[in-house]
Chain A
Amino acid sequence: MIAQNFEYETPSTLEEALELLADGAKALAGGMSLIPLMKLRLAVPERVVDLRRVPGLNSIRVAEGQLHIGAMVTHYELESTPLVRRSSPLLAAAAASIGDVQVRNLGTLGGSIAHADPAADYPAALQALEAVIRIAGKGGERAVSAAEFFVDTFTTALEPGELVVEVSVPVEAAGTGVRYEKCEQLASGFALVGVAARVAKKGGKVSMARVGVTGLAGSSYRAKNVEALLEGTTGSAQDVTRAAAAVAEGKEANSDIHASADYRAHLARVYTARALRAALGTAG
């Protein structure tokens, strides 16, 4: 549990940070994944770039119907800031379900999604929110959708030297019902499965459904088949069950000592139904 020697940099501008990252350094945000890996020597970066002094990565603001969150905003800030709770209750709920208080006080949105643990909580919410992730590199900035960003286990659309700088999600329209339902792996707090649901109703029918899933497979995903099955229905208990039944279709479920692939797929169906029911319950 003793890390290898490493150089430690604390750049005070984004340019400086990107310069260092382009040079092969490893970005350190809240350190909730990187530091334990370093202590186990599963990660042995020669140089670590602490992003805490980089200005502009901590902001939370609303502009043009979007909630923009800086990469260095902590889970605790997301779960507790009134603006976030109002504008994106789903994201706030996902943040609140992460790990424990200590982890939430230090861990950051950008750090978590860049690490792309296949059982992390944010990806489910970001898939359901169709979030846009702004990425900076030495060559400039680009933006990708959550669906493009999360590629596979520990694998994102980030190229070497690139950094997540901001995540944008829509300000939730009045009447949209949301819910994050998570079956927690009790030792680690990670999701065996986690399901984020957003639904809206119009004229007694489900007009919009978005479902994001984490923990089940190698990467988070949007369960478009579930969405399609639910949209246009009245959102009855049967509609929900039928739609939720499709959530694991075509996915290769993970297996470990805590849950077999079959059980994970079953949990995904149960938790999808639970998330949808709860979301429908608050949809106007």
Chain B
Amino acid sequence: MKIHGSHRLPVGRERAYALLQDPEILAACMPGCEALVKVDEDLYEMKMKMALAAISGQFAGKVRIGDRNPVESFRLIVEGTGKIGFMKGEGLLRLREEGAETEVAYEGDVHVGGTIASVGQRLLDTTSKMLIKRFFGRLGERAQ
């Protein structure tokens, strides 16, 4: 599934870029993220507990940052596997200064498998959008 969109952060581009690569910030802002442990340069192991209304599931996965082009763009790869399935999201994030704020545009692909793929397809799009929105919402709060 292709995803794309943009969100605004109430900080300048340098600060936004730094925030988006700070594992502590990422851990605090990624919905369901319980722990993010650095295992290598640009590679983190992640524990995630997703809870969406009645739906819940635990995932273990990885977060990777690549193609760094400081303050302009970078690539974020998030993978998770759990009993209810697995997901892999890969996206290019582009940062654009908008006055005192920064617009973060993302574009990428989300792949899901297992139970969540075969019974949840009608909700994948709306759910991923919501999770991304939540992420940027929290990031925005943190940024201030």
Question: Do A and B touch (CB < 8 Å)?
Answer: yes
| A→B interface (CB under 8 Å) | 26, 33-34, 37-38, 40-45, 114-116, 118-119, 152-155, 185, 188, 190, 217-218, 252, 254-258
Contacts A43-B56, A115-B53, A152-B133 hold; do A218 and B115 have CB atoms under 8 A apart?
Answer: no
Judging by beta carbons under 8 Å apart, are A43 and B125 in contact?
no
Interface majority SS (helix, strand, loop, mixed), chain A: loop
Question: Which of A185, A252, A255, A258 interacts with B5 by CB under 8 Å?
Answer: A252
Contact partners of B53 in chain A: CB under 8 A: 114-116, 154-155
Judging by beta carbons under 8 Å apart, are A42 and B57 in contact?
yes
Chain B contributes a number of interface residues (CB within 8 A of A) equal to 23
Contact partners of A37 in chain B: CB under 8 A: 54-55
Q: How far is the CA of A155 from the CA of B129 in the complex (A)?
A: 13
Least CB distance from A74 to B in Å reads 19
5 A-B pairs with C-beta separation under 8 A: A118-B126, A153-B127, A153-B130, A256-B124, A256-B125
Contact partners of B83 in chain A: CB under 8 A: 41
Q: How far is the CA of A190 from the CA of B120 in the complex (A)?
A: 13
Contacts A37-B54, A42-B57, A218-B129 hold; do A153 and B115 have CB atoms under 8 A apart?
Answer: no
Judging by beta carbons under 8 Å apart, are B5 and A154 in contact?
no
| B→A interface (CB under 8 Å) | 5, 52-57, 83-84, 115-116, 119-127, 129-130, 133
Judging by beta carbons under 8 Å apart, are A33 and B124 in contact?
no
Q: A41-B115, A118-B126 are in contact. List 9 more A-B contacts (CB 8 A).
A: A38-B54, A40-B115, A42-B120, A152-B130, A153-B123, A154-B53, A154-B127, A256-B125, A258-B122
Q: How far is the CA of A43 from the CA of B84 in the complex (A)?
A: 10
From B5, B53, B125, residue with most partner A Cβ within 10 Å = B53
Q: How far is the CA of A43 from the CA of B119 in the complex (A)?
A: 13
Q: How far is the CA of A155 from the CA of B127 in the complex (A)?
A: 10
Judging by beta carbons under 8 Å apart, are A42 and B55 in contact?
yes
Question: Which of A33, A41, A119 interacts with B122 by CB under 8 Å?
Answer: A119
Contact partners of A42 in chain B: CB under 8 A: 54-57, 84, 115-116, 119-120
- The residue on A at minimum CB distance from B58 is A44
Q: How far is the CA of A152 from the CA of B135 in the complex (A)?
A: 14
